Amino acid sequence: MEAKRRQKADAAELERLRKESKRLAEENEILQRGEHANATGPSAPANVFSQQGR
């Protein structure tokens, strides 16, 4: 009985880790896109608004 309980707990932990890994991969992708956008500079509409005060 203990072996089944342990196997169930291990399966639950594995599932939790898979979900966390997926979430972290998605978060990393979002951060990389933001980093890329910052490296290439602001987009045209944002640039127009930021230069109005000059």
pLDDT at site 16 = 98
CB 50 within 8 A of CB 42: yes
pLDDT of residue 43: 61
Separation CA 44–CA 13 (nearest Å): 47
Identify the segments of the chain with pLDDT beneath 70.
41-54
Query: Can you give the pLDDT at residue 40?
Result: 76
Domain extents for the chain?
A: 2-50
What does the pLDDT read at residue 12?
98
CB contact at 8 A, 11 and 4: no
- Cα 30 from chain centroid? 5
